[in-house]
């Protein structure tokens, strides 16, 4: 597996992966694709994971506006056919290292409390993210926003 920067030609493969995860709703996939399509001057950064020349996942992150040293992990997705090989962890570590190299103090991740995201939340906790806050009923009634932080040393 290797990690590289996003290329325009990755879009179709990433859309396929986003849909294959069966986690994201259509309007969420639309926003993920907007960030993939966005002008790079807007500050969205990417790592794409490639396995044997095929796109296997990606992470999208960026500096959080109006903060000193806080960055956001906006999206992370791995091809379900490639789950269990540590690709997600490698993407997370690459983001941590890139953020730390640019002077970042922490990476913030926002996700939903609904059952469909349970494996996602378990992944973040296993990786070492701390749940730092929760906004009740944020996404919908009964679906909170859960905020994780990963402090970088």
Q: Which spans of this chain sit near a second copy (rule: CB under 8 A)?
A: 27-28, 31, 64-70, 105-106, 108, 132-141, 147, 149
What is the Cα–Cα distance from 117 to 126, expressed in whole angstroms?
Answer: 14
- Measured in residues, the chain has a length of 153
In the complex, what is the shortest distance from the CB of residue 85 to a second copy, in angstroms, rounded to a whole number? Answer: 29
In the complex, what is the shortest distance from the CB of residue 39 to a second copy, in angstroms, rounded to a whole number? Answer: 14
In the complex, what is the shortest distance from the CB of residue 68 to a second copy, in angstroms, rounded to a whole number? Answer: 4
DSSP 8: G
DSSP codes joined into one string, 68-130: SSEEEEEEEEE-GGGTTSSHHHHHHHHHHHHHHHTT--EEEEEEE-SGGGHHHHHHHHHHT-E
In the complex, what is the shortest distance from the CB of residue 43 to a second copy, in angstroms, rounded to a whole number? Answer: 13
């Amino acid at each position: 597996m290797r990690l590289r920067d996003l290329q325009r030609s990755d879009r179709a493969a990433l859309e396929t992966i986003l849909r294959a995860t069966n986690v994201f709703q259509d309007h969420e996939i639309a926003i993920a694709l907007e960030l993939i399509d966005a002008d790079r001057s807007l500050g969205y950064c990417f790592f794409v994971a490639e396995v044997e020349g095929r796109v296997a996942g990606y992470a999208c992150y960026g500096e959080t506006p109006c903060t000193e040293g806080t960055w956001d992990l906006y999206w992370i997705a791995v091809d379900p056919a490639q789950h269990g090989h540590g690709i997600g962890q490698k993407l997370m570590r690459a983001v941590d290292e890139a953020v730390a190299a640019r002077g970042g103090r922490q990476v913030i991740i926002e996700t939903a409390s609904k059952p469909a995201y349970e494996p996602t939340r378990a992944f973040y906790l296993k990786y070492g993210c701390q749940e730092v806050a929760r906004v009740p009923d944020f996404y919908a009634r009964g679906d909170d926003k859960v905020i994780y932080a990963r402090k970088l040393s």
